Amino acid sequence: MRKFALLFVLLLAGCSVEKVPVGNVGIKVDLYGSDKGVQAQQVGPGRYWLSINQDIYLFPTFTQTRTWDATNNEYISFQSKEGMAVSTSLGITYHVDPNMVSVLFQKYRKGIDEITDLYIHNMVRDGFVEIGSTMAIEDIYGTKKADLVTAVQNRVKAAVAPIGLVVEKVYLIGAMRLPPQVEQGINAKIAATQMAERRHNEVAQTEAEAQKEVAKAEGDAKARLVNAEAEAKALALRGQALKDNPGLVQLNAIEKWDGHLPNVNGGALPFINVAQK
């Protein structure tokens, strides 16, 4: 009886109580023996009594963020179409489908941290290696950088969805690192392109201002022509009117006369036309 009691105490000493926090799903695992592997059921939040031969792996079902950078030599390295070496720091956000935790564990037989830093990291790296090798270095470093990251993200997302991982985003951290001579050459080309564009804009602006001045001059000339034509037409009309009405000038002068004779000796009387008989 004492032996059984001692054995029970020893077994009890090797047991433990583990907690599955809220927002996690647990997988109970037999560590040794013929039942080694995953048990049939997943366990939700709560406390669980584990024997000396059991362990629980926790899988958080809320969004996780992992970064790979130069701190621990975890950055991603790949080559362009020309064979130029590129390296970059990356981040990934994802979460575990709570209904597929056992599928995920059966696939890798590891915890979420190991799965992320080993398998997911390799998937992301392989995506950059394969897709980056089809792109020119100027596109990778320039206008198509976002396209490259999106293509890798979609590739990894499709690969891990069947095993219960939902990739939300893959993103760059900081600038990509290129060989110094390559970066200098690209920056010089970008600067030259920007300078040419600025000169083009300046020429276009100068031409636009010149065209504006020409248009203004043409407008002024046309306005003067119109005014001259109008004035000439008015003079012609007045001349024709005077021709058709010879007494109109004398009549206008009489209408404007104030009734006083000019105080000039020997002068003719104004506007007096004495008809000769």
Per residue in 37-74, pLDDT (tens digit) is 555 567 878 788 787 778 888 899 999 999 998 777 78
pLDDT in tens, 213-236: 777 887 887 887 778 777 777 777
Task: Return the pLDDT at 79.
Answer: 93
Q: Span 65-88, mean pLDDT?
A: 88
- Is residue 52 within 8 Å of residue 11, measured between CB atoms? yes
Question: Would you say the C-alpha torsion 136, 140, 145, 151 has a positive or negative sign?
Answer: positive
Q: How far, in Å, CA of 81 to CA of 176, rounded?
A: 16
* Antiparallel, parallel or unpaired: β 54-60 and 37-43: unpaired
Q: Is residue 238 pLDDT above 80, yes or no? A: no
Domains and CATH numbers, the chain: 11-58 (no CATH), 64-178 (3.30.479.30)
Predicted TM-score (pTM) of the model is: 0.59
Task: Give yes or no for residue 257 having a pLDDT over 80.
Answer: no
For residue 129, what are its two tokens? 């290696």
Q: At 26, list the tokens.
A: 């647990």
Buried b (16+ CB within 10 A) or exposed e, 182-207: beeebeeeeeeeeeeeeeeeeeeeee
> Within a 13 Å sphere around the CA of 183, how many CA atoms are in the beta-carbon half?
9
